[in-house]
Amino acid sequence: MINLKEDTIAKKSSTLPLEFVTSRRITIDYINHADKIMRVFRKHFREPTPRKLDIDRERLVDRLLNYNKKLDAPNQVVQNIESLSQTKTQVVVTGQQPCLFSGPLYTIYKAISTIVICERLSTPKYPLVPIFWNASEDHDFSEVDHINIFMQNKPYKISYDYSVKGIALAQIRLDKSELNKMLTMIADISPDSEFKTDLLRKSKEIIEKSFNIGDFFSRFMTWLFGESGLIMMEPHYFRDLMTSVFDKLIRHPAECTQILNRTGLQLEKLGYSPRIHKKSNICNFFLLNENGERMRITFNGKFQALNESFSQRELLDLLESTPSRFSANALTRPITQDLFLPTFAYVAGPNEIAYQAQLRELYDFFSIETPVLFPRFGATIVEKKISRVLKKYSVEIHQLKDPAKLMKELAKKRMENIFNSFKNEISRNMSEVTQEAGSIDKALIEPCTITKGRIFKTIEALEDKIASKVKRHNMTAQQQIMKAHNNLFPNNQLQERQVNAMEYIMKFGKTFLTTVYESFLEADYGEHKVINC
């Protein structure tokens, strides 16, 4: 449980429809437990079962303790790690590439989802503990080099100015001056609150203790969720526990790609659009050079990494001598994870579920039992100022996704009574005309009906024209609707994908985390909660 002292800040919540949150049919079918989905996934979160495991728990516990103690993890984390020495204890894992100041909201929603699932499903026979896989070997820095917070009710991008390309995030030394500049900008553009000063001070302390992007992220997440027992880990600290995966990838360089593409064709036959299709020469792992650059490996008789080439024997020898140079890609990362972790479940976002749909046979190839895939919870935060706008104009959250359309609907509503009366009168009169004309000659009924349709189309066109004029004149309503839109759908996306958690922790303190936690406790798996703050 998230153990915080403050009172919670929200009590009521509703949900957004699943189809509004994701358009991926396979994700929707998985969450809804559609009949055909079990031809894609072996297990389902509605009927979860633990895995049969044979792992080196002693080495795992030792590595996790060593890593988390360096992060100054509290006793709750240490106890959870030590519990992994017991053969029945399993883990619920989620993961994300390291982000600045914890990144977009969905990152903390993943963490809280993992904590909630452990609390719901843990039993004395099968205890569960939460782990966050800090994917610090990811090399797409452009995805994580910025955050968004609100400035005057609009999302404002604050960037970490650092030119780097193709380098694993764990290898990028932290520019503390850049992070402190970001903190200064956050302080300048955000409103004052009782929590703001302490948050900025704590963030500065974490920056001073950190030495790279991955380390900064793990320390920040430990500060947020350490008291809830969330264990942090980075894969490069556990590389020698993954070597059997890379050994098989080297000995069978084309096999995984063939499996993935074959599974993609099977998904197409089921009516789904596969997320992954790879060229036949892709080997599904990376090699890191001395600069930390992640080199994609291809195979055409020999293994190729940029300008270097290797024989199979050379790569196997390198794996034995320097396993730290090998890194999994997005497809083989889950395999390495479930090779050495006692994974009961993985907590995935909507896009990840679609991605994981092609991994079933890949697990078979590595002789690893698949864990259960749980959809994470999601949320849209509605502050009081936004609630007032929703109430004033009697609109639903999903209507704010398209503010121009909404303004037109609101403008039409203003004239609705007048036009309804007008149309009812015309309809009554036309019925009388049609009846009289039909008594003269039944052939006249059809032209009367056509004429009535034309009249109503003309009225609707007039209604649209008047609504457009009303919309232009009603600037106050337009400004308020746009304010609500920018807050709930910043940059025309779900709030959770754009806004940084600092936005709400500054306003509400760690109470915000408790509020989300309590809302998720009540939610069904995969639900997107609307949380009123």
Q: Which tokens sit at 93?
A: 């894992």
12, with CB counted inside 10 A (0-12, 13-18, 19+), is: exposed
Residues 339 and 316 in one domain: no
The partner residues of 167 in beta bridges, in order of sequence, read: 293
Last residue of some domain: 327, 350, 370?
327
The structure tokens 């746009």 sit at: 482
Give residue 227's pLDDT.
96
Provide the β-strand partners of residue 277: none
Sign of CA dihedral 434, 435, 439, 445: positive
pLDDT of residue 419: 66
> And the tokens for 112?
């809280």
One-letter-per-residue 3-state SS of 481-513: HHHHHHHHCHHHCCHHHCCECHHHHHHHCCHHH
Does residue 271 lie within any of the structural domains? yes
| 152 and 93 belong to one structural domain | yes
Burial 33-53 (b: 16+ CB within 10 A, else e): eeeebeebbebbbeeeebbeb
Q: Which residues contact 110 (CB under 8 A, 6 or more apart)?
A: 94, 95, 96, 132, 347, 349, 376
Alpha-carbon distance of 184 to 203, in angstroms, equals 11
Residue 225 shares a structural domain with residue 342: yes
Residues 192 and 68 in one domain: yes
Q: Phi and psi at residue 375, in whole multiples of 5°?
A: -75, 135
Q: 8 lies in a domain?
A: no
Total structural domains within the chain: 3
pLDDT, tens digit, 9 for 90 and up, residues 330-364? 889 999 999 999 999 999 999 899 888 889 899 99
Please report which helix (H) or strand (E) contains residue 530, including its range: strand 528-532
- C-beta of residue 530 within 8 angstroms of C-beta of residue 379: yes
What pLDDT is recorded for position 84?
Answer: 97
What is the CB-side half-sphere exposure of residue 495 using CA atoms within 13 A? 28
Residues 6+ apart with CB under 8 A from 185: 158
Give yes or no: residues 399 and 438 share one domain: yes
Considering the domain architecture, whether residues 113 and 247 belong to the same structural domain is answered as no
| Structural domain of 308 | 241-327
pTM value is 0.86
Residues in the chain, pLDDT under 50? 1-11
Sheet strands side by side (includes 343-348): 231-233, 128-134, 90-96, 343-348, 372-375
Can you give the pLDDT at residue 460? 81
Secondary structure letter of residue 40 according to DSSP? T
359 and 500 co-located in one domain: yes
281 and 348 fall within a common domain? no
CA distance 288 to 104: 28
Determine, yes or no, domain membership for 533: no
Residue 5 lies in a domain: no
Residues 118 and 253 in one domain: no
3-state SS assignment for residue 187: helix
Asked, for residue 24, whether it belongs to a domain, the answer is yes
Residue 95 lies in a domain: yes
Q: What's residue 135's pLDDT?
A: 92
CA 404 to chain centre: 27
Nearest Cα to Cα of residue 98 among 205, 2, 171, 180? 171
Q: Are residues 369 and 469 in the same domain?
A: no
- Cα separation, 218 vs 465, in Å, equals 56
Same domain, 231 and 140: yes
Evaluate whether residue 437 is within a structural domain: yes
Dihedral angle computed from the Cα positions of residues 23, 25, 27 and 28, in that order, rounded to the nearest 10 degrees:
90
Q: Is residue 532 a part of any domain in this protein?
A: no
Pair (100, 233) in one structural domain: yes
What is the structure's pLDDT at 163?
73
Tokens found for residue 141: 């820095």
